[in-house]
Chain A
Amino acid sequence: MVEFHFTTPITKEDVQKVKIGDVIYISGTIFTARDEAHERALHLAEKGEKMPIDFEGLAVYHCGPVVRQVGDEWEIVAAGPTTSTRMDLFEDEFIKTFNVNVVIGKGGMGDRTAKAMKEYKAIYTAFVGGAAVVAAKGIKRVKEVHWLDLGTPECLWVLEVDKFGPLIVGIDSNGDSLFKNVALQAQENLGKIGEFLGITF
């Protein structure tokens, strides 16, 4: 397990250095996008419209934060990750269209996304589910917010981060998936579990 510290923009060369099981920390700029923001971004791109910020080299975070508005400023109260598999529907196109090379979420992503990560050289990293306090610590401030009409959990938060992490690499740019390996291993372990419990699976 190797530890990497990246500063945005994160390049395809950068992400090719990491393997599943490594840990990365990110400083610079990341942005949040859940289902609806993914859908809108792809829809606008298809029509040839510009994004409110240039996504290239940034990390996309599957997160619907709890926020508080103080005067004109937005404050992040809690910002743990949401389940990533819902974004499997969009992520391959998203990576390809916007050159986003790092995806942050929880719980892993499926084969379709892993294939795209291999093809376009991107990685999926997992933040610990529920660890909202540690996450908020790495977020220095809200730089911008867009698409507020989607609601505060679903809209696009552009965040300045400092050593945001630890992010455990779950899918690397070879398309290898830690989550898939763990699931296969669990199936294999059923034999000895059955023996121990005196049952057959």
Chain B
Amino acid sequence: MTETFDNTIIEDIVVKLHKFAATQLPNDVSDALKTMYEQETKPTSKAALKTIVDNFTIADETSTPMCQDTGIHIYYVNIGENFPKVIGIEETLRKASVRATKEVPLRPNAVNPIVGGNSGDNTGNYIPFINYDFIPGVDYLEITVFPKGGGSENMCALGMLKPGQGINGIKKFVIDTIINAGGQPCPPGVVGVGIGGGADIALKLAKKQVMRPIGERHPDPEIAKLEEDLLKAINMTGIGAMGLGGDFSTALDVKIEYAHRHPASLPAAVAYQCWAARRSTARIYPDKRVEYLTHKEE
């Protein structure tokens, strides 16, 4: 296939995805937060959940970013192997970040860690960060915009456990991480757990999990059971929404994925996503048709 795809179309779509992500929670997240508000019995967490629901409702109605921290820009690009050739996708995504920062508007969140200074447009060294995957047998290009807040990111953790600690060691590591984080990552959020592979692989898997829809279970029944058990256990901590004490509102969901591990190591990673669990995805087809998977086009 020698035909190349028109990048300006991609750029426009990605700017739109940024607007969706910043101002409108995906339905699975907003529904889960509303249900949690109904269920919670502790008045302090209930009051916080009410504020959260009011906040994302007004944000949606007024097309305003739901949180002042509009996150650092991360993209997931799934390239269907039968999609036409795209050239300069990285440049296109960087341009989209710059445009979205002005047009939505988004807070500039790219700071030079060595010499200081904010780039002012959400781009910099390795930022936006782009994850690429090839998908065999399909003809679409799927792009996910994943703006990641700093408060919740600061509570992510990696444990290089001893293989002997086994699955129980992982359970303990997850619970300890959540208790240590308390109200700081703006709970209730989604807890992603990555197991095995290696340090980077475990973290990468953990982070990817927080994008899975709330309520969806892992296809492997063992893992699905572990997800359910850990969710129940995390909510038993009583930390609650914003750490104010609650019986049902410490986490919206737990998602787990694993890779096979080296015989000598057992990496376990926890990624935390706050209540502002923002993501937006679009599929672009060779005939330029666009399908928004997480949001409705007005």
Contacts and interface: CB of A to CB of B under 8 A. Distances in A.
Interface residues of A, number: 41
Contacts of A186: 179, 182, 237-239
B288 to A, nearest CB: 35
Given A78-B68, A128-B51, A130-B276, A182 B244 contact: yes
- Of B56, B69, B230, the most chain A CB neighbours within 10 A belong to B69
A132 B66 contact: yes
A66 interface: yes
Interface in A11-66: 21, 23, 65-66
B55 interface: yes
Summarize A's interface: helix, strand, loop or mixed.
Answer: mixed
A185 B59 contact: no
B217 interface: no
A133 B172 contact: no
B242 A182 contact: no
Contact of B68 (A1, A21, A132, A189): A132
Interface stretch (A93-101, A116-124, A141-149, A192-200): A192-200
Interface string A165-201: 0101010000000110111011101101100111101
A80 B67 contact: yes
How many of chain B's residues touch chain A, expressed as a range?
A: 35 or more
A182 B182 contact: yes
Interface in B212-248: 229-230, 232-233, 236-245
B217 to A, nearest CB: 18
Contacts of B62: 133
Contacts of A137: 58
A182 B245 contact: yes
A107 B47 contact: no
A178 B44 contact: yes
Interface string B253-290: 00000000000000000000011100000000000000
Nearest to A192: B236
A79 interface: yes
Contact of A133 (B58, B175, B186, B275): B58
Given A182-B238, A182-B240, A21 B55 contact: no
B233 A197 contact: yes
Contacts of B171: 197, 199
Contacts of B230: 197
B184 interface: yes
A189 B184 CA distance: 19
A62 B54 CA distance: 21
Interface string B168-187: 10011001100100111010
Given A179-B243, A182-B245, A196-B233, A128 B55 contact: yes
A107 B107 contact: no
A27 to B, nearest CB: 17
B82 interface: no
B58 A79 contact: no
Contact of B55 (A1, A132, A170, A187): A132
A181 B236 CA distance: 15
Interface of B: 43-44, 47-48, 50-52, 54-56, 58-59, 62, 64-69, 107, 149, 151, 168, 171-172, 175-176, 179, 182-184, 186, 229-230, 232-233, 236-245, 274-276
Given A130-B67, A131-B52, A197-B229, 13 more contacts: A1-B44, A78-B68, A80-B67, A106-B183, A106-B186, A126-B244, A131-B55, A134-B51, A182-B182, A182-B245, A186-B238, A187-B179, A196-B232
Interface of A: 1, 21, 23, 65-66, 78-80, 83, 106-108, 126, 128-134, 137, 166, 168, 170, 178-179, 181-183, 185-187, 189-190, 192-193, 196-199, 201
21 contacts: A1-B44, A66-B107, A78-B68, A107-B183, A128-B241, A130-B55, A130-B149, A134-B55, A166-B47, A166-B50, A168-B44, A168-B48, A168-B244, A183-B179, A186-B237, A186-B238, A189-B237, A189-B238, A193-B233, A197-B175, A199-B171
